[in-house]
Amino acid sequence: MNTIKAIFSDRQLRNRILFVVGILVITRILAVIPIPGVDASNMAQFLENNSFFGLLNIFAGGGIASFSIVMLGVGPYITSSIIMQLMTILSPRLKEMYQEEGDAGRKRFVQYGRLLTLPFAVLQGFALITLLIRQNVIPELSTSIFVTNIIIVSAGTMLMMWLGEQINERGIGNGVSLIIFAGIVAALPQSISQFFFTFDVSQIPMIVGLLVLSLVVIGGVVYVTEAERPVPVTYARQSRVGGGATLGHQTYLPLRLNQAGVVPIIFAISILLFPQLIGQLLATSSQDSLRSIASTINSLLANQWIYGGVYFLLVVSFTYFYTAVMFDPEKTADNLQKNGAFVPGFRPGTATAEYIGYVLARVTLFGAVFLGLVAVLPVAVQAITGLTAIQVGGTSLLIVVSVVLDLIKKIDAQLSMREY
C-alpha cells in the first residue's frame, strides 16, 4: 500500500502509468474493429479446434478471433527484431552501431527494425488471410477487398508497433511485452466464464493439480528471475591513513541467472509459428509435392515430444543469444578498468573479461535450462493428459509473470531514483 501511495503521489510516475493504461485501452479497442468483408462468427469454433491459431491469437492480442484491423498484432515487429539481433552477429557494423555508438546508434538500429517490419507485415498478412480463405473460415474475397485488407492489417501492425514504442518512451515498461500481456489478460473473463459453463465435478482433482502446478511455476519463475550471482569487485581507492595505507572499496557485480527475461520465450514461439504457418498454407496447395512437404511439417510439429524438444532448444539458444547481445563481458571488464576497479585474483582487462564470461556462461546455463523446462512443461503435460488448452495457458502464464516482474522492477527503480 505504501508503494501504491508513493506511485500516485508522484505526478510524473503517475502520468507515466496512466499513459500506459490509456495506450492499452486503445489497443483493446483496436482489437475489436473488424476488417471489411469478413464474418467473425465462424472464427471462435475454428480457434477452439486449432491450437496453432489459438497461440497465434495470443500474440495478436485476440485480434484474430474478431478479424480485427490489428489481427497481426506485434508479430511482424518481433520477427524483424529477431532478424536485426541475429544480424549483429553477422555484421560487425551493426554490432558496433548497437553496442558502441550510444543512443544515436541504437536509434538508427531500431529504425532499421521498423523499416523491416513493414515487408514482414505485408507477407504475414497475405499468408494469414490466404490461409483462412483456404480453410473456409472466411469466404472468397474479391481482389480489391483482399488487397485492401492486406493494407489495413499491415497498417494495423505499424500502428501497434508505434503504440508500443510510445510506451517505451513516455510510459514505463516494455511496450511490446505489455501489449501481449494486455491481450492475454483480456481473454481471462471469457475463459473463466467458459470454465463455469462446462464445469464437471469429476474434473476437480485435475483442476486442483493444475492450480498447484501453476503456483509452482509462478514461484520458480519469480525465484530464478530474481536470482543473481555476485562477482566481487574492489575499487582501488588510496587514502593516507597513519603513514599512507591503501584502502579499497569493495562491492560486487550482479550477474542474473536470467538476463533475457521473457524475450527468449517470445522469440522461440515466433520462430515456431513460421513452419506451422507454412505447413498450414501448403496443405491446401494443388501441387502434390507441396502437399507432401506440408504433411511432413504438420506431422512433425503435431508430435508433442518433437515440438517440445525444438521449443526447448530454441528457448535455451535464444537465452544465450540475447544474453550475449545485452551483456558484453569485454565491455564490462573495460569499464571496470577505466573506473579503477578489478576482480580480486584476476588482472584487469582480458583476464577479467574471460572470468566474467566464464561465470556468465554457467549461470546462464542454469537460467536457460530452467526457462526451457518451464516453457515445455505445458507441452509435456498436454502430451501426457491430452488436454489441448494447457499449452496456450502455460505459455500465457509464463509471459504474464515475467512481464509483471519486469514492470514491478521498473516502477521500483523509478521510485528509488525519485527518492535520491
Residue 158 pLDDT: 94
Cβ-contact 258, 270 below 8 angstroms: no
Q: Is pLDDT larger for residue 304 or for residue 227?
A: 227
Look up residue 8 and give its three cell numbers: 500516485
Compute the distance between CA of residue 343 and CA of residue 328 in angstroms, rounded to an integer.
Answer: 16
Parallel, antiparallel or unpaired: strands 246-256 and 228-238: antiparallel
Look up residue 91 and give its three cell numbers: 555484421
Compute the distance between CA of residue 83 and CA of residue 401 in angstroms, rounded to an integer.
Answer: 26
Statement: residue 199 has pLDDT above 60? yes
Compute the distance between CA of residue 169 and CA of residue 403 in angstroms, rounded to an integer.
Answer: 17
Residue 248 pLDDT: 58
Residue 167 pLDDT: 92
Structural Rg of the chain based on CA atoms = 24
Statement: residue 99 has pLDDT above 90? no
Compute the distance between CA of residue 406 and CA of residue 400 in angstroms, rounded to an integer.
Answer: 10
pLDDT in tens, 120-152: 999 888 888 887 787 777 778 888 888 998 999
Cα torsion 84, 87, 93, 98: sign: positive
Q: Which percentage of the chain shows pLDDT scores above 70?
A: 84
Kindly report the average pLDDT of the chain as a whole number: 80
Cβ-contact 82, 270 below 8 angstroms: yes
Q: Which helix (H) or strand (E) holds 252?
A: strand 246-256
**What domains are there in the chain, each with its CATH number?**
1-199 (1.10.3370.10), 202-387 (1.10.3370.10)
Contacts of 67 by beta carbon, 8 Å cutoff, 6+ apart: 34, 35, 38, 40, 43, 138
Mean pLDDT of 45-52: 62
Statement: residue 341 has pLDDT above 90? no
Look up residue 157 and give its three cell numbers: 501492425
* Exposure of 374 in the CB half-sphere (CA atoms within 13 A): 31
Confidence of residue 22 (pLDDT cuts 50, 70, 90): very high
Compute the distance between CA of residue 147 and CA of residue 335 in angstroms, rounded to an integer.
Answer: 53
Residue 62 pLDDT: 67
Cα torsion 178, 183, 189, 194: sign: negative
For residue 83, give the amino acid letter: I
